[in-house]
Structure 1
């Protein structure tokens, strides 16, 4: 029966076997350190157990599978979003939260993949969702639109958290067959239309634009 429950609903450890030598929090912390250093592929029950100085089988007193571990890892780092930033305007508050979320996703490059594999919400994920809905409470739109807005923030964060390619250049390419591209590159290179110094960056413009379209569209 316990196997059908979410890892967050199950006891910290099984009732059988010797007294545990580690806590679930210790196991998750080691797994996070492995993922931060070498990516999610480096996280296995055997690798985590080796770091803890125990056998892989002992971890099954706390977890039923690697999937359980990934869900615990994701929820643990999502807890880094608290305390949630505050602002009087709901859009401003969510932009601030999105920036903090982006910082968390960049510190833990594996998080996007882990979240995509998650089958449910942990306590930190639920606290995040609850906070977002509280921020959006004064906004007059459907509940569906609010859920969509929260989901899209995470989508934008995941996109911007990816490493950006470096050294991309059109300098060695003949752009004469591509009139629109050539004109755009020439204008950008000339600095004919410099961006205002106080203009929001692309991340903020994207988040604000999506929220405005979903919540006030």
Structure 2
């Protein structure tokens, strides 16, 4: 079965395995765990139904009793990875401190599973664990007087910042301007020539999150 024949019903609402065939020798959780192990080791391209089946010591055809397609597998992997964001911190302190901590946990998750950058755009991967994450963020933001739309936007922007930093880390060395002729770029030349101010105590990731969230959710 290929991706074109994917079941239109979300994987979350379907039975964990087909009703036909022999007694199951595997589970959805086991299949997803094997796929995540492959992706962590060699990237998302290494994850195929055949490769996962080989890792489990079975045939690719047998996996279709649990999944309709590789897309189903990617969705399950995405949501299973989100379970790594638990346990959620208590929201008994400053909401901004708690949200920054949540953002740091998101970044750590992307560092542990770099392949998440390749599936983060898939809305079909929003499953129970991902929904629980959003619910928790709203719990933290509950004391704020702004409306739900502003809170959803702030959570989305926080995730965008996390993925930006994760992509930057995954891309290797930062851009260098050494040896560039700035003659045609006077403003850039002036900025580069100006001595840098001492770095703040907090790192760039935290400063970015704090500034973004405080600006979006100011009440």
**Do these two structures clear the TM 0.5 threshold for a shared fold by scoring above it?**
yes
Find the counterpart in structure 1 of residue 211 from structure 2.
209
Matched, 1:32 2:39: no
**8 A Cα contact 2:39 2:46, kept in partner:** yes
Task: Choose from 8, 17, 21 the match for 1:13.
Answer: 17
The superposition leaves residues 129-180 of structure 1 with CA deviations (integer Å, 9 ceiling, x where unpaired) of: 1101111111000111111111111111111111244264322222233222
Find the counterpart in structure 2 of residue 23 from structure 1.
27
1:1-217, aligned counterparts within 5 Å?
A: 3-87=7-91, 88-119=93-124, 121-162=126-167, 163-166=170-173, 168-188=175-195, 191=196, 193-196=197-200, 198=201, 200-216=202-218
Alpha-carbon offset, residue 14 of structure 1: 0.8
Segment of structure 1 superposing worse, 163-172 or 44-53: 163-172
- The alignment's TM-score, normalised by the length of structure 2, stands at 0.89
- The alignment's TM-score, normalised by the length of structure 1, stands at 0.90
Alpha-carbon offset, residue 86 of structure 1: 3.1
SS in 2 for 1:119: helix
* Structure 1 gap ranges (5+): none
Distance 1:174 1:8 in 2: 55
Distance 1:169 1:114, change over 3 A: closer
